[in-house]
A and B are shown apart, each in its own frame.
Chain A
Amino acid sequence: MAATARGEAGRARLLGSALLATLLAPLALALLALALVAAVAVPVGVGVPLALGVLAAVRGFTGLHRRRVARILGTAVERPYRPAAGGGLVARLRRAAGDPATWRDLAWLPLDATVGVVLRLASLALLLGGLGCLAFPLFWPALPASAQPYWVGLVPVGDQAGANLVPLQGVVVLLLWWGLTPWLMRMDALLTRALLAPTERSRLTSRVRELAQTRAETVDTQAAELRRIERDLHDGVQARLVALGMSLGMAEEAVARDPEAARSLLAEAQRSTGQALAELRQVVRGIHPPVLADRGIDGAVRALALRGPLPTEVEIDLPDGRLPPPVESAAYFAVAEALTNVAKHSQATRAWVRLRHAHGRLRVEVGDDGKGGADPGGGSGLRGIRRRLAPFDGTLELASPPGGPTILTMELPCESSSPRTSPSSGTA
């Protein structure tokens, strides 16, 4: 039963898709005509804004079809365009003209209006024909007698008894519609995807651009981190050790002459070592928290939850063995940052962290029962998390309706490594 229901829903959706696309097909031809007019008018000048407008409309139109086709195929069809940048009208038009995706869009317009329309009409015609046959006995009496016998499909119909048999034929046609529609619509979808989806080349080009960008950001972040560590050591530990040396030197001088002063200098020296160690611990925690080295992401996140000011529930479902250390580190700092954000902004009374590894992806969820309404774009905290995730192709999604709850979902592609194959991860 359930399978049938799903099948019908699928047919209904395909029917809707076919109707919509068929009705829109004249628009495809209109856009193509406008594009030709604009192309001719470009040398005159007014053609430039016209062409840009037409191209924007074409992209909107093809975008609609990408979404339509994605629903039929069950996989997303991505936009193939190169990223837009500023510049004058002419520069923008030149860039659009240099983008092969523009020409593929334009080539698709007439194809959709012809081959696409034929495929969709075939499906629609089978449905309408089948329904017509089913209803045939009802309107048989109303047909003018002069035109008899009627040819319905391949069968001549001469009287009411013959007309009553036509619905049988209707059933056959409807069965054909039922069976052929998925195939017809799939052909239509594949044709559209072939031209409107990014080509391998454009996909690679945009991937390279993305990698170059995240690499540059990673290098910048690393350099900034190193500068920060250098500064922390310079202003903290190094200064303390200098002071310590001075105290000890002075104590040595004073020891014979004024033992009491020497003792207080030694006590000061001891305080200095304590402070230097405390500062070193802070620096180390910022580089690589020891508990992460000891216990991996599992223990480290539990330790974080224990340290935080809010009661935090932790749910972890990870395979045995450790994840790659860089992924663990990125995920750890992302969770730490997220929990800090929760404590600072959300007015929550409790938080939760969920970690799951499945299908080669680490999924991290940090939620709270606070007031919600967090801005997904803003906040240095979120930007920091994005930067940490970017080198791993990690993604970040924030759901924070006013009134809460706020849920931050992060995903990192990664394979887990067993301790055997990765001795450097140091699991015992």
Chain B
Amino acid sequence: MRIVIAEDLALLRDGLIRLLEAHDFEVVEAVDNGPSLLRALTVQRPDVAVVDVRLPPSFTDEGLRAAIEARRRVPGLPVLVLSQYVEPLYARELLSDRGGGVGYLLKDRVANIGQFLDAVRRVATGGTAMDPEVISELLSKRSRSGPLRRLTPREREVLGLMAEGRSNAAIASRLFVTEKAVGKHTNSIFSKLDLAPSEDDNRRVLAVLAYLDA
């Protein structure tokens, strides 16, 4: 899988390169600033990009804006954004084109290598990977009122994992239940929230996120 990395701190950049190359990713370019990132993304057209939010020259959300701009020019270009903090506002901006193939994770999550690689692969195949912190903020905001209150605790758990971008199979293994049981929960969630059911995992996730962020 061809991958572009944008990270300005050499220590972390080298770590990411080593980690990804050890797991059969081909790092085609590693950049350390916003303008180079935009160029690399549009020229290399990688299968997926792993991007730090804060990059030179401005040391603001340059990486995020380069990623969004690249996705505007190359619709659906898979981008996984990493950050020292998560901001629901940024998640909303990343998701706003409804294209899928988007991830937004805390940098801490890289430490859990299995889950991190899973997120990279998921994004590369058009899926979504949202940090649990973003999801819990969205959930707590929405659950003060409205239909979210009608969900059972188990259904809320499933909804949270689904919003992070996990498939039924992944949710099932995470909660130690069968995939069929998860399917039952998701059907119930969709009918309680009045969302159109969908067999497609990715489209389902986007519908849930759009609902939560409305």
Contact = CB atoms under 8 A, between A and B. Distances in A.
A270 interface: yes
Nearest to B92: A306
A270 B54 contact: no
Given A273-B108, A274-B111, A302 B84 contact: no
B85 A306 contact: no
Q: Is the interface of A mostly helix, strand, loop or mixed?
A: helix
A309 B88 CA distance: 13
A290 B92 contact: no
Interface residues of A, number: 23
Contacts of B111: 270, 273-274
Contacts of B108: 273-274, 277-278
B58 A302 contact: no
B85 A281 contact: yes
Contacts of A273: 108, 111
**Contact-residue size bin, chain B (C-beta under 8 Å from the other chain):** 20 to 34
Contacts of A270: 111-112
Contact of B60 (A274, A306, A428): A428
Interface in B105-147: 106-108, 111-112, 137, 140-141, 144
A296 B162 CA distance: 33
B211 interface: no
B32 interface: no
A273 B106 CA distance: 13
Nearest to A274: B108
A428 to B, nearest CB: 4
Interface in B44-75: 53-54, 57-62
B196 interface: no
B11 interface: no
A308 B138 CA distance: 10
A426 B85 contact: no
A323 B34 CA distance: 24
A234 interface: no
Interface string A279-305: 001001100001101110001001100
Contact of B141 (A278, A307, A426, A427): A307
B21 interface: no
**Which of A291, A294, A303, A307 has most B Cβ within 10 Å?**
A294
A277 B141 CA distance: 24
Given A295-B61, A309-B144, A428-B62, 7 more contacts: A277-B107, A278-B108, A281-B85, A294-B53, A303-B87, A308-B141, A427-B60
25 contacts: A273-B108, A273-B111, A274-B111, A277-B106, A278-B108, A281-B84, A284-B84, A284-B85, A290-B54, A293-B59, A293-B60, A294-B53, A294-B60, A295-B60, A299-B89, A303-B89, A306-B89, A306-B141, A307-B141, A309-B140, A309-B144, A426-B60, A428-B34, A428-B57, A428-B62
